[in-house]
Structures are given as C-alpha cells and as structure tokens.
Amino acid sequence: MGYRTLLRDHRGLLSIAFLAMFSSSLGQSFFIGLFQAPISDRLGLTAGQFGTAYATVTLLAGFAMLRFGPVIDWVAPRRFALVVLGVLFAGVALLTLSPWWLTGLLGLGLVRLCGQGMMTHLGNTLAGREFVSLRGRALGLTGLGIMLGETLLPPLIAALLVWLGWQQLWWLFVLVLALLWGPLLLRGPWPKAPGKRPDRAQGRDGPRPFREARFWQLLPLLMILPVTMTGLFIYQARMTEDLGSTLTVYALALTGMGLAKLPGALLGGRWVDRLGPVRLARLYLLPFALALVVAITVGGHAGVWALMVGGGLAMGAQESIATSLLVRLWGAEHLGTVRATLSAAMVFSTGIAPAVLGLALDLGASFSLVLVGMLAFLVTGWTLAQGVLASPEARGA
C-alpha cells in the first residue's frame, strides 16, 4: 500500500496529525524569531535579555513536557487537543496583549510548550500509535506539516507585515487555526482513549525511560541532528566566515535544506515500512556525516550547501525513524510517555548546545574544528546506539 492509498483510506486521521504539526509553527523558533524585535520592545527587553528569557522559558517548557506529555497515553486525543489549543491561544493572548513583562513571558512559555512541544507531540503520537503496517509513511506525511509552516509562513509574514502589526498577525494566524481545527474537532475521526492511567499505588506503572540504560544509549543518536543543526543556525555568521562562504549563500542553502526535507520524509517513511526502523536508524545519518566531511575538507560554498542539504535529508527522515523505533522498543501503548521524555531531553540539549559552542568559539576554536567535534559526536552517538539496535526487542525477536 502506497501513499495514495493511505491518503484515500485514512485522510481524516492524517489531517488531524498533519494540522497538529502545522499548528506547532506558532511555537517554533523560526516563527517567534520573525517577531523577536517587536516582542522585545513590548516586554522592555534588550536582545540579550530576550535570548536569556527565551532559553529559560524553553527549558521550563521541557520540564512541563515531562509532566504533561505522558497524559496522551490515557486521555482521549480529542480532549488532549482541545486543552492544548485552549492553552496555546491563552498564551498568545498573554504574549500579545499583556502590559506586564512577566505575564508576557508566561505567554511566551505557554506558546513554546503548547506549540512546538504539545502540538508536535500530538501529531507524532497519533501517527505513530494509530498506524501499524503503514506507520513510517503516516509519520512521513505528518511531518510535512512542519515543513509547510517553515516554507510558507516566513515569506507570507514578511508580506503581511506591510499592512498589519505583529499582534494582528498573531491573531490572524490564531483565527486561521481555529477555522481549520473547528470541523476536525466537531466531526473528525478521533480515536478513543488508548488506555487507563497507570496506578502507581497498585504497582502498575508506565515506563520511566530516564531510568533505563537503553534510553541513554539511544539518546545521543537521536539528539545529533537537533543539537548540531541548532549550532549551525545560531552561529551561521561565524560558520560562513570561517568556511569562506557568505550569508547570501547560506540563505539560499537554507531553502535547499527545506526542499531536501521533502524527499527525506517521504522516502524515509517508505523505507521504514519496507526495511524497518532499526536498519534505517543505522543509515539515515549518513548524508549528514558526508556533509560534515565535505564542509571540513572542502569548505567554501560547497561546504555550506552540503551541511544544509545533508542535514535536511536526515532531518526529514528522522521523525518517522525515531518514533517507529520508540514503538518497537517500548510499545505503542507507552509512546506518549517515551516521546515526551525524548522531547524534553532534546529541549534541554538544544538549550545547552549554543552555550557550549559559543564557549568553544570564544576560546579561539575555528568553526572547522567545531565541525570536527560534531562529526566525532555523530560517530560516538552512532556507536553507543549499536547495542540497543542489536537487541532482541529492537529486532522484533
């Protein structure tokens, strides 16, 4: 069964998961970054203060994911979506309308938590749990929701800012999301609550990934792309300077990265269904590894393009591979808990990574040396994961 049949037979559920991923744009860094200056002015913060505040609320959102993310394992998905949407829109109200900086930052934190955090969590968990034989393809299609937001919204917002203020644009986006979600919430094919809440008092408990060695062995492999790509995005000026390229080339290559995500997602989803997540987990980072080698040895415009396109191919494939692997290891009934733990770990790591890379650059490291460190991190993460990927649980034995 291919993508066409999947869309024909399951378009309702796929629409819910896809829209959840697209709605996450409201809390993604690329969207908030477009409004950094006016938000800082409204809250009375300097650029540096805004960066510190943003990192703080992001880390707090990561802790909140650990607490509230697992509830999707026992709460009906429709109710989960209603609550997340309600809190997300409340966060937008606080951020855009509050006259006090503290409540404004609270709104920013809620937007980060419910946008990038919970909406992504909802879309991936639904696609990963409700599909079995077509899980890879379903996750690949669902992931296109984020890619649509990354591709469509920045130029659209740039055009609309000519006529509208930034608060009006936020509420226009909220109105569009409300109109899109309304029919799905009323008549969508929502699955029932997947299970009952674990009763720890009676000894029935869900998994605790942070207490399992296999989770820690697998975590570096799954964090390589978020950590390294965050560093490339944050320090783009230093990267292009040290590699002998320009920011103009970087901007074009960034578009190439967005385009590369599409075949990465669609082919990755198809191959997960055909070859299995374990085999793909061993291979999907190869384009990015080759890109790092090109950037280190060749540099220049070719190095920048290689990093963006190689990273895009791998990022497009990662979600279907990672979620399918989590289902294989921990079971679909616990996917919400394990995915929430993984999401929180990624939030923590991507919050710390810019500080570590910045310290290395301040100490005089060239960006080529930073890229060597990224390649070493990739090889180490891949090596650590091999024990888990070879286990009977991963192989389905």
Answer left, alpha or beta for residue 168, where phi above 0 means left and psi between -120 and 50 means alpha.
alpha
Instruction: Enumerate residues 6+ apart whose C-beta is below 8 A from 70.
Output: 206, 336, 337, 340
**Cα–Cα distance for residue pair 141/8, rounded to 1 Å:** 13
Please state the length of the chain: 397
Give me 28's structure tokens. 């993604």
Domain ranges of the chain: 1-196, 209-397
Q: Quick one: pLDDT at residue 326?
A: 87
| Residues 358 and 235 sit within 8 Å (Cβ to Cβ) | yes
Phi first, then psi: give them for residue 113, nearest 5 degrees: -65, -50
Token pair 């919970």 in the structure block, residue = 118
Which stretches of the chain score pLDDT less than 50? 202-203, 397
Q: Which residues contact 153 (CB under 8 A, 6 or more apart)?
A: 25, 30, 31, 34
Task: Give 41-104 as a DSSP string.
Answer: HHHT--HHHHHHHHHHHHHHHHHHHHHHGGGGGTS-HHHHHHHHHHHHHHHHHHHHH-SSHHHH
Which tokens in the block code for residue 262?
């599409």
| Domain 1-196 matches domain 209-397 at the CATH topology level | yes
Closest CA to 280 of 289, 291, 271: 271
Q: Dig out the tokens for 313 from the structure.
A: 């191919």
CATH architecture of 209-397: Up-down Bundle (1.20)
Return d(Cα 345, Cα 336) in angstroms, integer.
14
| Structural contact between residues 264 and 313, judged by C-beta atoms closer than 8 angstroms | yes
Which pLDDT does position 1 carry in this prediction? 55
d(CA 375, CA 289): 7
Q: How many CB atoms lie within 10 A of CB 183?
A: 10
pLDDT in tens, 192-206: 877 666 655 544 566
Separation between Cα atoms, residue 110 and residue 91, nearest integer Å: 5
Q: What class has domain 1-196? A: mainly alpha
How high is the pLDDT of residue 95?
92
For 297-342, the DSSP string reads HT-HHHHHHHHHHHHHHHHHHHHHHHHHHHHHHH-GGGHHHHHHHH
Which amino acid appears at position 333 of this protein? E
State how far the Cα of 21 lies from the Cα of 114, in Å rounded to an integer. Answer: 11
pLDDT at 206: 67
pLDDT of residue 397: 45
Burial class (CB within 10 angstroms; exposed 0-12, middle 13-18, buried 19+) of 134: buried
**Residue found by looking up tokens 């890879």 in the block:** 136
How far is 155 from 386, CA to CA, in rounded Å? 42
Spatial distance between the Cα atoms of 15 and 261, rounded to a whole number of angstroms: 19
Question: Given CA atoms 367, 373, 376, 378 in this order, what sign does their dihedral have?
Answer: negative
Closest CA to 269 of 284, 254, 286: 284
At residue 35, φ and ψ (nearest 5 deg) are -115, 20
Interhelix angle for 300-330 vs 135-160, to 10°?
130
Q: Say how far apart CA 13 and CA 138 lie, in whole Å.
A: 10
* Token couple for 356: 């570590």
Q: Which residue has the tokens 């796929």?
A: 14
Give the residue among 322, 340, 335, 339 at the shortest CA–CA distance from 62.
340
d(CA 65, CA 63): 5
